[in-house]
Amino acid sequence: MSFTTMLIITLCLFMAGNIFGIIYSYLVLSTTVFEKYRIQKKPYKKGVFKDRFPLYIFNVFLLTISSTIGIYFLYDSVESNFPAWWVLIVQVLIIFLADDVWFYFFHRWMHTNKTVLKKVHSIHHRAHTPFPLDYLYVHPFEWTFGIIGAVVAILAMINFWDLSIYSFWGFVFLRNLHEIHIHSDLKLPLLKNIPLISPVEDHDVHHEKLDGNYASTFRIWDWIMKTRFKEKNVAE
Ligand SMILES: [Zn+2]
Ligand SMILES: [Zn+2]
């Protein structure tokens, strides 16, 4: 596979996810298609999508630049053949687990450090009632540093195990869909109980209350550290 093909497929995957996010957000904000599945019920502020659009675009731009640089440096080190299915699944899972542990502690730190909360993370929390594309509504610092866990896992796998580009694509595509999902504010019948995966309510309540449920993909770290929102309140 040539460098150009690898880069184009990577960027197309990101774009496909974001275009899906835009269409999904439009349906949530401007139609009543999903109305009965909404968790918070509060009406969205008029013009909210337009107001947030410049930051969405800026973060997509950062993502495009960083993926181009990433693919440039990793091109010779990644395996471009399709791997055995078990290899694909295990590699995707390892990247998810590393990403999750980093995201949990980084996110929690952004809440405990009041300066960072005020100057950086509060931007994402302007979305008290989130909608799908709000996963992109984050300060560029948070957006850039948020990927460190996945980057470390990718670099480790390149050195200790042949990382397949398909595992990387599998991770970015599923992670993108999951981020869109947990910001949707929707409790959809088929997606409300995916085994082991953190449900929409967890992150939704985090946006509404600005507290607890710091994990993104799994619930593991909120369980271990006892920061699940409900448990926290019971304990207090
Ligand atoms: Zn937060
Ligand atoms: Zn969020």
Query: Could you tell me the CA-to-CA distances from 44 to 25, 40, 91 in Å, in that order?
Result: 11, 10, 39
Ligand nearest to the CA of 210: 1
What is the CA(1)–ligand 1 centre distance, in A?
A: 39
Domain count, the chain: 1
Beta bridge partners of 177: none
What is the CA(210)–ligand 1 centre distance, in A?
A: 6
Per-residue pLDDT at 55: 94
Ligand nearest to the CA of 134: 2
Q: Which domain holds residue 90?
A: 3-235
Q: What is the pLDDT of residues 150-178, one digit of tens each?
A: 999 999 999 888 899 999 999 999 999 99
Per-residue pLDDT at 234: 45
What is the CA(118)–ligand 2 centre distance, in A?
A: 15
User: What is the CA 110 to chain-centroid distance, rounded?
Assistant: 16
What is the CA(135)–ligand 2 centre distance, in A?
A: 6
What is the CA(27)–ligand 2 centre distance, in A?
A: 19
What is the CA(134)–ligand 1 centre distance, in A?
A: 12
Contact 71, 157 (CB under 8 A): no
Per-residue pLDDT at 235: 43
* Regions of the chain short of the pLDDT cut 70: 231-236
Contact 174, 122 (CB under 8 A): no
The tokens for 158 are 């390149």
User: For residues 138 and 162, what is the distance between their CA atoms, to the nearest angstrom?
Assistant: 33
Per-residue pLDDT at 230: 73
- What 54-57 contacts at long range (C-beta under 8 Å, 24+ apart), as own/partner pairs, is 55/123, 55/136, 55/137, 55/138, 56/18, 56/133, 56/136, 56/137
Query: Could you tell me the CA-to-CA distances from 132 to 28, 33, 34, 102, 160 in Å, in that order?
Result: 8, 14, 12, 22, 36
Per-residue pLDDT at 231: 54
Angle between helix 148-160 and 48-74 (nearest 10): 20
What is the CA(41)–ligand 1 centre distance, in A?
A: 20
